[in-house]
């Protein structure tokens, strides 16, 4: 029996292994990134209290012995005001096309389907799971009303109420989505948590600190690019350029006697040091590129065509 039996067992095991792609979509600020981080168990995607935090699609990979789920966190769906937004929405659509199932995240107090979101969901060719997030902010009656609303509006395959920050019911997302994942071998190495590299995460940390430190339009007019990354045995030397739209924004970024940019640099460096587990030398230069959000070459350079 020996070898034969072992071989058939191996085939059976392989056949039952599931692997697939999940598109996390929804309006800005509903908690998509917080949820992906919870599911994968790492702070991969930047989370801030501000809308439009996520600009690039980022994968978060959950691997077990039995399955691999590749989640894609995407920018919040909005009506484009710039070419930048159009490209962000293109990456949302490309992610949906690649996915085996869509995880549509709403806030518990969301009461209508926007035109942009409706357009995408009503043409969906894959199973739709609605995740009602932030249920810590509502009572039972409100929650029941919202469940009934999404049921009639979208007739999804499942509706899952959760709280990402309270870590309530998040595991139900994984068990539910598993139903819609095909049998397949893993796509990524079991050790991989994301498809993005260190440079990407470093740029995101700097952008997170900009979002936290500056107000109103300023963070939205900034783009961060890493122009040089040198790894030395005891220190990583990173040169970074921050692009803004106008001279006035450069002055705000610098602050009185350069104090604001200094604080930004220190905060970002500390977080990058934790991330890379090494000392970091961080050099920040601010550049003005007028209307970069509508400039094709700038958008290409900033990686808004690779998603």
Q: Which residues bind ligand GTP (CB under 6 A)?
A: 26, 28-34, 47-49, 51-54, 75-76, 133-134, 136-137, 163-165
Rg for the chain, CA atoms, rounded: 21
User: Is 63 or 133 the residue whose CB approaches ligand GTP more closely?
Assistant: 133
**Rounded CA separation 273/207 (Å):** 16
95 binds, among ligand GTP, Mg ion, none (CB under 5 to 8 A by kind): none
Which residue, 133, 200, 125, 120, is CA-closest to 166? 133
Q: How far is the CB of 304 from Mg ion (least distance, A)?
A: 16
Position closest to ligand GTP via CB: 76
Q: How far is the CB of 52 from Mg ion (least distance, A)?
A: 8
249 binds, among ligand GTP, Mg ion, none (CB under 5 to 8 A by kind): none
For residue 86, count CB atoms less than 10 angstroms from its CB and return exposed for 0-12, middle for 13-18, buried for 19 or more: middle
**Rounded CA separation 11/71 (Å):** 27
176 binds, among Mg ion, ligand GTP, none (CB under 5 to 8 A by kind): none
User: Is 126 or 162 the residue whose CB approaches ligand GTP more closely?
Assistant: 162
Residues sharing a CB contact under 8 Å with residue 169, sequence separation 6 or more, in sequence order: 160, 161, 162, 163
Place of tokens 């604001």: 260
177 binds, among ligand GTP, Mg ion, none (CB under 5 to 8 A by kind): none
CA distances, 94 to each of 144, 167, 306 (Å): 33, 29, 11
164 binds, among Mg ion, ligand GTP, none (CB under 5 to 8 A by kind): ligand GTP
72 binds, among Mg ion, ligand GTP, none (CB under 5 to 8 A by kind): none
CB-based burial, 172-199: b 16+ in 10 Å, e otherwise? ebbebbeebbeeeeeeeeeeeebebeee
163 binds, among ligand GTP, Mg ion, none (CB under 5 to 8 A by kind): ligand GTP
Q: How far is the CB of 52 from ligand GTP (least distance, A)?
A: 5
C-beta pairs of 113-118 under 8 Å, 24+ apart in sequence: 113/153, 113/154, 114/27, 114/77, 114/79, 115/79, 116/77, 116/78, 116/79, 116/89, 117/25, 117/26, 117/27, 117/77
The answer to whether the beta carbons of residues 43 and 64 sit under 8 Å apart is: no
Q: How far is the CB of 29 from Mg ion (least distance, A)?
A: 8
List the Cα angle 47/50/53 in 5-degree steps.
55
User: Is 204 or 236 the residue whose CB approaches ligand GTP more closely?
Assistant: 204
Q: How far is the CB of 46 from ligand GTP (least distance, A)?
A: 7
19 binds, among ligand GTP, Mg ion, none (CB under 5 to 8 A by kind): none
Residues sharing a CB contact under 8 Å with residue 71, sequence separation 6 or more, in sequence order: 21, 22, 24, 36, 39, 40, 59, 60, 61, 62, 103
Q: How far is the CB of 146 from ligand GTP (least distance, A)?
A: 14
User: Is 132 or 284 the residue whose CB approaches ligand GTP more closely?
Assistant: 132
User: Is 28 or 265 the residue whose CB approaches ligand GTP more closely?
Assistant: 28
User: Is 33 or 68 the residue whose CB approaches Mg ion more closely?
Assistant: 33
Q: Which residues bind Mg ion (CB under 5 A)?
A: 32-33, 53-54
Q: How far is the CB of 74 from ligand GTP (least distance, A)?
A: 8
User: Is 64 or 167 the residue whose CB approaches ligand GTP more closely?
Assistant: 167
Q: How far is the CB of 30 from Mg ion (least distance, A)?
A: 9
């Amino acid at each position: 029996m020996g070898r034969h039996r072992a071989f058939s067992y191996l085939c059976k095991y392989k056949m039952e292994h599931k692997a697939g792609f999940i598109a996390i979509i929804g309006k800005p600020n509903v908690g998509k990134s917080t949820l992906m981080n919870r599911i994968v168990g790492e702070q991969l995607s930047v989370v801030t209290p501000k809308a439009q935090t996520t600009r690039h699609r980022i994968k978060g990979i959950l691997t077990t012995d039995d399955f691999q789920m590749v989640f894609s966190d995407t920018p919040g769906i909005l009506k484009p005001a710039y070419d930048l937004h159009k490209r962000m929405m293109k990456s949302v659509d490309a992610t949906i096309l690649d996915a085996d199932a869509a995880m549509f995240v709403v806030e518990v107090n969301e009461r209508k389907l926007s035109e942009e979101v409706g357009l995408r969901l009503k043409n969906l060719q894959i199973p739709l799971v609605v995740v009602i997030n932030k249920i810590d902010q509502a009572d039972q009656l409100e929650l029941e009303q919202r469940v009934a609303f999404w049921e009639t509006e979208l007739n999804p395959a499942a509706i899952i109420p959760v709280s990402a920050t309270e870590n309530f019911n998040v595991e139900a997302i994984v068990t539910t989505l598993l139903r819609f994942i095909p049998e397949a071998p893993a796509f990524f190495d079991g050790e991989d948590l994301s498809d993005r590299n260190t440079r990407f995460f470093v740029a995101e940390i700097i952008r997170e600190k900009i979002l936290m430190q500056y107000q109103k339009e300023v963070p939205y007019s900034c783009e961060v690019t890493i122009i040089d990354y040198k790894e030395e045995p005891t220190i990583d030397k990173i040169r970074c350029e921050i692009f803004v739209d106008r001279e006035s924004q450069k002055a705000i970024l610098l602050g009185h006697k350069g104090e604001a940019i200094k604080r930004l640099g220190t905060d970002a460096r500390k977080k990058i040091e934790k991330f890379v587990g090494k000392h970091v030398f961080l050099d920040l230069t601010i550049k003005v590129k007028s209307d970069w959000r509508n400039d094709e070459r700038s958008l290409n350079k900033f990686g808004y065509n690779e998603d």
